[in-house]
Amino acid sequence: MDLIVQKFGGTSLSDENSRRHVLRHIVRENEAGSRLVVVVSAMGRSGEPYATDSLLELIRTNGNALPAREKDLLLSCGELISATLLCSILQAEGIPSVVLTGGQAGIITDNRFGSARITEIKTERIHKLISDGFVVIVTGFQGMTPDGEMTTLGRGGSDTSATALGAALNADIVDIYTDVDGILTADPRWVSDARPLSTVSYEEICNMAQNGAKVIHPRAVEIAMKASIPVRVRSTFSEGEGTLVTNAHALRSQGIWFDKTVTGLAHVRGVTQLGVTNNNGPSDVQLRVFRAMATHGISVDFINVMPSGVVYTVSETDTSLAMELLQGLGFEPNVRRGCAKVSVIGGGMNGEPGVMAVIVEALTNSGIPILQSADSNTTIWVLLSEEDLAEALQALHTAFGLHLTPN
């Protein structure tokens, strides 16, 4: 008997109609005889009554004044509401089901409220319930410290709950149900002809997720990869097979050789470029700048160190603090807000000539300036103005023929 972890995201649970689709997937696997653990997110997206963002909105009028511990208690309500509602739907269909909070499901975390890490999963209770014939519904995105405090795992953390449970239970597969047909060659909200990929390696999707493709949380992929648990990203609203995420070796053994030069695009908005000029001859400018950023927990990217100074990026949310720090050190930084980072990703681009040439040509032909670039074995990053983002993504998608990608 297979053991399947199914995870349903916010949009899959937002209204009566979508919850009927969720029910259909549970019934199908249940009737096929699989043992089921169902992980749920809070219902809906920002603006909808019980969504995580709407819970956060409740305290905004108080200037968000709430200690981190209590904030996690507030945030964990969203998943509890959707889990109990789903339980009621299953009961009405005559399907025996039980709801467990993260803590009740045995998910133990450290005490970093708001971004807790899972340290252990005690599976006895879930094992007992599934062997007694229950569908076990677990509230995603949360766990409990060893001394019983409720924690949350960071935004998008239900994916992590699902793969961590999959790994701990040694599930046959983790099915991540969402509102798109799988992992696409780019975010379909930005590239209208993005196409679903039938297979990707853990490494490739991890890379896409770390670079902004929020279809699955990067930590969730890392956990699945370590445990070699296959993950399928698929649509709640269809019967499509979606995208299978597994290791390159497993795919090669099925004759699927997928180290494509370019697999897909990802992007991150809300990036600020900072430039600091070293006007005073040789100095320790670089050291002082990066030490100040590190001391204040500001994550830096696109780092370019030159004898004349440094250029790097920070997130929009860290911009004011970064500027204050630089001014405090006596620098007058050049600040360019409103940038976006575009990542061109492919497991097979290493040693393949001409990838950067295609990028430069596509962007130049569209009149889009590249503000900075960087590269690794599997990714080329370019920094652009956010105003150019939509056109840049579309141009690059077309230039690499991703709209034609054979699946």
For residue 229, give the nearest of 162, 166, 160 by alpha carbon: 166
Could you tell me if 180 and 380 are in contact, meaning their C-beta atoms sit under 8 angstroms apart? no
Could you tell me if 263 and 380 are in contact, meaning their C-beta atoms sit under 8 angstroms apart? no
Number of neighbouring beta carbons within 10 Å of residue 123: 17
| Beta bridge partner(s), residue 266 | 343
Q: Residue 351: helix, strand or coil by DSSP?
A: coil
* Residue 50 binding partner per list ligand ADP, Mg ion, ligand ASP, none, with a CB distance cut-off of 5 to 8 Å that depends on partner kind: none
Using CB under 5 A, count the residues that bind Mg ion.
Answer: 2
Binding site for ligand ADP (CB under 6 A): 9-12, 41, 156, 178-180, 183-184, 186-189, 208, 213-215, 264
* Residue 52 binding partner per list ligand ADP, Mg ion, ligand ASP, none, with a CB distance cut-off of 5 to 8 Å that depends on partner kind: ligand ASP
Selected from 44, 106, 156, 275, the binder of Mg ion by CB under 5 A is 156
In whole angstroms, how close is the CB of 234 to Mg ion at the nearest point?
Answer: 13
Q: Which is nearer to ligand ASP, 159 or 388 (CB)?
A: 159
Q: Which is nearer to ligand ADP, 11 or 273 (CB)?
A: 11
The answer to whether residue 44 forms part of the interface with Mg ion (CB under 5 A) is no
Could you tell me if 216 and 204 are in contact, meaning their C-beta atoms sit under 8 angstroms apart? no
Cα–Cα distance list, 212 to 160, 238, 344 (Å) = 16, 25, 12
Question: Backbone dihedral region of 324: left (phi > 0), alpha (psi from -120 to 50 degrees) or beta?
Answer: alpha
For residue 201, give the nearest of 288, 264, 135 by alpha carbon: 264
Amino acid at 21: H
In whole angstroms, how close is the CB of 319 to ligand ASP at the nearest point?
Answer: 23
Query: Does residue 189 have a known ligand-binding role?
Result: yes
The answer to whether residue 78 forms part of the interface with Mg ion (CB under 5 A) is no
For residue 394, give the nearest of 208, 206, 213, 188 by alpha carbon: 188
Q: Which is nearer to ligand ADP, 176 or 293 (CB)?
A: 176
Query: Does residue 324 have a known ligand-binding role?
Result: no
Question: For residue 374, with 0-12 CB atoms within 10 Å meaning exposed, 13-18 middle and 19 or more buried, which class applies?
Answer: middle
In whole angstroms, how close is the CB of 280 to Mg ion at the nearest point?
Answer: 48
Q: Residue 180: helix, strand or coil by DSSP?
A: coil
* Residue 78 binding partner per list ligand ADP, ligand ASP, Mg ion, none, with a CB distance cut-off of 5 to 8 Å that depends on partner kind: ligand ASP
Q: Which is nearer to ligand ASP, 151 or 313 (CB)?
A: 151
Query: Does residue 133 have a known ligand-binding role?
Result: no
Binding site for ligand ASP (CB under 6 A): 9-10, 41-42, 52, 78, 140-141, 155-159
Q: Which is nearer to Mg ion, 156 or 275 (CB)?
A: 156
Query: Does residue 260 have a known ligand-binding role?
Result: no
- Tokens linked to 41: 């997110």
Gyration radius from the chain CA atoms: 23
Q: Which is nearer to ligand ASP, 152 or 343 (CB)?
A: 152
| Residues placed in the known binding site for substrate | 52, 79
Annotated binding site: 7-10, 52, 79, 178-179, 189, 214-215
